[in-house]
Structure 1
Amino acid sequence: MNMKKRQLEVCLSPAIYDKHANNENIVVVIDVLRATSTICTAFANGVRQIIPVATVEEARQKKEEGYTVASERDGYVLDFADFGNSPFNFSVDKVKDKDIVYSTTNGTRCIHMASHSKEVLIGSFLNLSALAGYLIEQDVPVLLFCASWKDRFSLEDTVCAGALAERLLASGNYDSICDAVTASTDLWSIAKNDLNQYSLKAAQKGRLASKGLDDCIEFCHQLDFTDLIPYYSDGRLLSKTNGTNKK
């Protein structure tokens, strides 16, 4: 492979996404707790496609049209939704061969924000190796987009971005002059020896625990649960592996 080195950046919050936005980037949306972990789990469990919508009103309309809807705000399942935003909700019996409408507080909004990009991929610890392998093969600059929490810095998303950035930089195919890349890889170097223990420091862990929704924390920090890479296309999420469309 003889490619000029590509630029790698990390965006730490949707509040500054416009400073990074570029139509030529591949954007990887990362929302570890819980949207992108849930999306990866859904495809691993056989969902046909996911239709991400940004607003409660859109999700409600899709429910009225007869879709199965998974939707939450601030962790709480919306009153019209079939289920919420835990990866454990997206079990094989609920999602296999189905189309699911999906709307969350942070993650699905970021997918739509990045939809102008060359490609939008879904990243998490659960598909880290597959995603890194795919990106290393692409001759395109990459932006790792942390969904954060209501535009505020998110520890778990940044650590995941650092894990991915470390692999991309180690490949020799990427350069970076982005301080957020340095910060995220430094955090990953601290966290990686005991990721589950480090994850307990995340504010989102406490937010989920206060609602009894923290049962998936350890699962969401599991490396390489799946080799599928969800991607956004024409208003829906599909999946691929090693660059080949699965659906």
Structure 2
Amino acid sequence: MDDVLNKASGRTLRIEVCFSPVMYSAFHNPEAIVVITDVLRASSAIVTALMNGAQSVIPVETIQEAKDLKSKGFLVAAERDGIKLDFADLGNSPFNFTVEKISGKQIVYSTTNGTQAIHMAREAHRVIVGAFINLSATCRYLTGMGRDIIILCAGWKNRFSLEDTVHAGAIVEKVLQDQRYSTICDSALAALDLWKLAKPDIRGYLEKCAQRSRLRKNKLDDVIDYCFTPDLTEVIPVFQEGQLVDIHRKS
């Protein structure tokens, strides 16, 4: 009901971009929807897992939590610095989350950056996960909800990430097509400018980003084209009761 009232009020709605989790306390708004973006690769992998039939993804912050849940029989996907941890069943590549491996299962998930950002934002009105592969679905959902929006870039160990910021700019562009939304947030405007630079050739523009180099060094860069492909799915992961589920899932 509060979402309906918000839309009817005529109030100008805000969209902001937080470049790094370390800055999130300055942006926190308990009434906002937070979109977590970690394009290479956590948010793309989470969306893919739910697209391929996972029951849910349980994001945990620490390696020990993942180990404890592994001992209880959960399927575990975990990495640090991009490398799959020895005890984990799966790594962090979207290509690990095949229908055969994960359909119908709960997946415990721990990553260097993305899962930390999810927990950091958990006091927001709602937390969802965005990627290029669910870009339009994410933006339709956001404008349909009619709430303030914060895009939280997972970054790299609290540092700025070019690919996450470019993706944030793509969301800003689409959301601002709804006249109820505006922004005077410098980081949102900067993200939008970067997106406009990257848009004609996303792959080429982001070839220079640091995470691209890390993935290449570790021979994990087979997912690049996939992660930069827009609108492969309508799946929108939403964080509720400690786990991520597709917002369209019927209870």
Q: Provide TM-score, normalisation by structure 2.
A: 0.95
Matched with 2:159 is: 152
Secondary structure of the structure 2 residue equivalent to 1:212: coil
1:163 to 139, 149, 170: 170
Determine if the alignment matches structure 1 residue 72 to structure 2 residue 65: no
Structure 2, unmatched stretches of 5+, are 1-6
Matched with 1:198 is: 205
Q: How many residues align?
A: 244
Q: Which amino acid aligns with 1:158?
A: T
Q: Which amino acid aligns with 1:13?
A: S
Matched with 2:132 is: 125
Q: Provide TM-score, normalisation by structure 1.
A: 0.96
Q: Which amino acid aligns with 1:179?
A: D
Q: Using the alignment, how far apart are the partners of 2:59 and 2:16 within structure 1? A: 25
Q: Using the alignment, how far apart are the partners of 1:195 and 1:220 within structure 2? A: 11
Determine if the alignment matches structure 1 residue 12 to structure 2 residue 12: no
Q: Using the alignment, how far apart are the partners of 2:43 and 2:160 within structure 1? A: 17
2:57 to 34, 44, 50: 50
Determine if the alignment matches structure 1 residue 233 to structure 2 residue 240: yes
Q: Which amino acid aligns with 1:196?
A: R
Determine if the alignment matches structure 1 residue 143 to structure 2 residue 150: yes
Q: Using the alignment, how far apart are the partners of 1:188 and 1:246 within structure 2? A: 34
Secondary structure of the structure 1 residue equivalent to 2:66: helix
Structure 1, unmatched stretches of 5+, are none
Runs of 4+ in structure 1 off by over 6 angstroms are none
Alpha-carbon distance, 1:4 to partner: 2.1
Secondary structure of the structure 1 residue equivalent to 2:119: helix
The answer to whether the Cα contact below 8 Å between 1:238 and 1:246 also exists between their aligned partners in 2 is no
Q: Using the alignment, how far apart are the partners of 2:156 and 2:149 within structure 1? A: 22
Superposed, 1:207-218 pairs within 5 Å as 207-218=214-225
